[in-house]
Amino acid sequence: MSATAYTDRVAATGSGNPLRSLSAEEYRRVKRRARQIDARSRCAFSNSLVQLYGVRAFRGAVIDLAMKLEGGRYFSRTLREISRVHHDVQVGMYTYGRSTLPGYYPPGSSVGNFGSIGTTLVSHRLPSGCPAQHPLFHDPKLGLVAEKSSSYVARPPIEVGHDVYSGFDVITLPTCRRIGDGAVIGTSAVLTEDVPPYSIVAGFPARVIRKRFSEEVEALVRESEWFLRPISELVEEFDCFINPASVQMMNRLVSVMSRPPSPIEAAAS
């Protein structure tokens, strides 16, 4: 979008738009920054760092270096590659929080793009029927039990969608296996079952308190699949993301997003 088109778009969004005071020059800078972010998200030594992570003693240093070189947890593609290769966990782009810590989520898990899910805790199911339930007895690391001990059930994998937001101190029990796209999880929620897409859940046990959007808007947001695009592309349509969603705006987003895809994977590699 040209700077003039940007100014027109801002003028059309009405009051309350947090970008109203952004000049055309500042907007150009935003776009430049977004392009730089995507461009630097994989450093030249990425493959070597992924390999080096295999040496336990270097793990901390590798993670620190990858984050330093690639703009931090939101962006580092090497961190994501380490999770995939060494821990069998897929972590989407721009997602931040504990899920980006390699090894934090159980193998086989996946987390979508644009997630804010740092505080989700993942718990084990402990052998409460045994006289001793301390992990030392039941964790194969000490060697008392075999790798696949049936008395100590590790947390099963979890699938977290795109654009998921979880508040402080959320606890996810093993019975919750899936958090749908666009879900919002309230502070201190305890998730005992799957969270439906685009719903706001809260409480203990967590229950749906409302949906984020009307059915019509939700369908359009889903159809747009905006969360599969890189941030450098999404800033072009900034007003669709920072204003409350309306049918008209989401229709525009759907039509813009029907362009040939340049998915995050392709654009950022």
Ligand X SMILES: CC(C)(COP(=O)(O)OP(=O)(O)OC[C@H]1O[C@@H](n2cnc3c(N)ncnc32)[C@H](O)[C@@H]1OP(=O)(O)O)[C@@H](O)C(=O)NCCC(=O)NCCS
Minimum distance of ligand X from residue 217's CB (angstroms): 16
User: Active-site positions?
Assistant: 124
Minimum distance of ligand X from residue 203's CB (angstroms): 4
Minimum distance of ligand X from residue 190's CB (angstroms): 10
Binding footprint of ligand X on the chain (CB under 6 A):
167-168, 184, 186-188, 200, 202-203, 209
* 49: Cβ contacts below 8 Å, ≥ 6 apart: 43, 62, 65, 66, 78, 82
Minimum distance of ligand X from residue 200's CB (angstroms): 5
Minimum distance of ligand X from residue 218's CB (angstroms): 15
d(CA 50, CA 141): 24
Cα angle for residues 243, 244, 250 (degrees, 5° grid) = 90
Q: Which is nearer to ligand X, 85 or 173 (CB)?
A: 173
Q: Which is nearer to ligand X, 137 or 165 (CB)?
A: 165
Please choose, from the candidates 176, 161, 14, 4, the residue with its C-alpha nearest in 3D space to the C-alpha of residue 90. 161
Q: Which is nearer to ligand X, 24 or 101 (CB)?
A: 101
Q: Which is nearer to ligand X, 201 or 249 (CB)?
A: 201
